[in-house]
Amino acid sequence: MENCIFCKIASGEIPGMRVYEDEHTLAIMDIAKDVDGHILVIPKIHVKNILDCDNETLCEVMKTVKKVGNHLTDHCGYDGLDLLCANDESAGQSVNHFHVHIIPRKYGDGLGGNAEWPSFPGAKHDLEETFKKLRIKSDFSATSDCP
């Protein structure tokens, strides 16, 4: 997509600090400077968000999230990670290209247990009623779309 900053980074048209790259995905440093080690994982093809993402691309993105996350905890001194992903403007998505934020964490880092989660005012409807509306009825087969 011609005006997408992540597409421009993926194509090399503009620079990005590439932490990891493979055929399908790219992990880059987030330039927000909000927390040390903040990384974004993006697909190289333009997909607006997870709701528009095909299963193969989603699997590739998540494999890269895991690879980068394991690197951060196994080799870079971090204890854990927060993964954040806003999907659509209504959820706070600010760049219309699917991306997953990796926020590396250390015990006592001062970010709290809910570093970037919104505050929730409490459910307005009965849990059982909501469950009945949202439940997906399927055979829950053990097959997977991920290779």
Residues belonging to the active site: 99
For 77, half-sphere exposure in the C-beta direction (CA atoms, 13 angstrom radius) is 3
The burial of 95, by beta-carbon neighbours within 10 Å (0-12 exposed, 13-18 middle, 19 or more buried), is given as middle
Cα 15 to Cα 143: distance, rounded to the nearest angstrom:
39
Cα 12 to Cα 48: distance, rounded to the nearest angstrom:
19
- Integer CA distances (angstroms), 35 to 79, 111, 126, in order: 15, 9, 37
Whether the CB-CB separation of 16 and 26 falls below 8 Å is answered with yes
Cα 87 to Cα 27: distance, rounded to the nearest angstrom:
18
